[in-house]
Amino acid sequence: MMLDPLQYGLGAVSGGLVGFTLGLFGGGGSILAVPLMVYLVGVPSPHLAIGTSAFAVATNAFTNLIGHARHGHVKWRCAGVYSVAGVAGALIGSSIGKMIDGQKLLILFALLMLAVGVLMFRRRGAEGNPGAQCSRENIHKVAGFGGLTGMFSGFFGIGGGFLIVPGLIASTNMPILFAIGSSLVAVTAFGLTTALNYAFSGYVDWMLAAVFIAGGVLGGFVGSRIAKNLSARKGTLNSLFAMLIFVVAGYMLYRSLGTLFPA
């Protein structure tokens, strides 16, 4: 499906915003990508927006992962266990998601975001343990959270970073900056799994994904630099993360409910 040149330009701008969010929070890119593609770029099908954004966010997440890894903010063992468990979940979730009406998916997506935002805001002052690792004592929790997050990620067609960050914190008690860096491994894996599943059904616009990714590279560089500076301020990243989720979720509910129940 071909869009007009203005829509591709808006796709590049949207990619910049998503890349910035991924670099800053390690997640949240997907919660912006889907509504931006639907409401700003004007992609006519929610399923096409979901499939395209999943591929674009996965690629941008990998770009941001390189920067976080160079700063030592990735717990590789935890990220690996979380990702492997989540990929299986993402395959199941994305297969189910393609069978659900697109507008209803957006409403469920927004409600899930609100729940996660509340949890993140409640934990905004938690510092975590910088030495946290995956061990025999917690590996079952890491794998369990990974599988569940992967299912949600695949079902809603998202990279899932805004779910993965609190999942990593809850299962390991690592600080949010390490959870952000480690989450990008899983965001990349989940996003590619979901995107390929959607691509098999023709739900990916590759040109839009390309311009989205190009904009996201620059935005991600800026976001990761700011994240490093803000990490020293207790609770700042957690609070900003939660506020972003509340704003986007509220807007999505407003637009989606208006579509299903027009005045």
**Residue found by looking up tokens 């995107």 in the block:** 195
Q: Which two tokens stand for residue 33?
A: 């990508």
Domain assignment present for residue 58? The answer is yes
How many domains does the chain contain in total? 1
Domain assignment present for residue 2? The answer is no
Mean pLDDT of 96-119: 76
Domain assignment present for residue 3? The answer is no
Looking at residue 242, its pLDDT comes to: 75
Domain assignment present for residue 4? The answer is no
Domain assignment present for residue 1? The answer is no
Looking at residue 129, its pLDDT comes to: 58
Mean pLDDT of 125-144: 71
Mean pLDDT of 90-94: 84
Looking at residue 207, its pLDDT comes to: 92
Domain assignment present for residue 165? The answer is yes
Which of 52-56, 125-129, 132-136, 242-246 is predicted with the least confidence, judged by mean pLDDT? 125-129
Domain assignment present for residue 253? The answer is yes
Residue 124 has pLDDT above 60, yes or no: no
**Residue 99 neighbours by CB distance under 10 Å:** 6
Average pLDDT, the chain: 79
Domain span holding position 47? 9-260
pLDDT tens string 39-85? 889 888 888 888 898 888 788 788 778 888 888 888 888 888 998 99
pLDDT tens string 138-175? 888 888 888 888 888 777 766 666 678 878 888 888 88
Put residue 103 in one of left, alpha, beta given phi > 0 → left and psi -120 to 50 → alpha: alpha
At residue 249, what is the residue type?
A
**Residue 31 neighbours by CB distance under 10 Å:** 33
Domain assignment present for residue 59? The answer is yes
pLDDT tens string 227-261? 777 666 646 666 777 787 788 778 777 777 766 66
Contact of 83 with 185, CB cutoff 8 Å? yes
Looking at residue 260, its pLDDT comes to: 62
Looking at residue 206, its pLDDT comes to: 92
The gap from C-alpha 246 to its chain's centroid, in whole angstroms, comes to 15
Looking at residue 160, its pLDDT comes to: 66
pLDDT tens string 196-221? 888 988 888 999 999 999 988 888 78
Looking at residue 155, its pLDDT comes to: 79
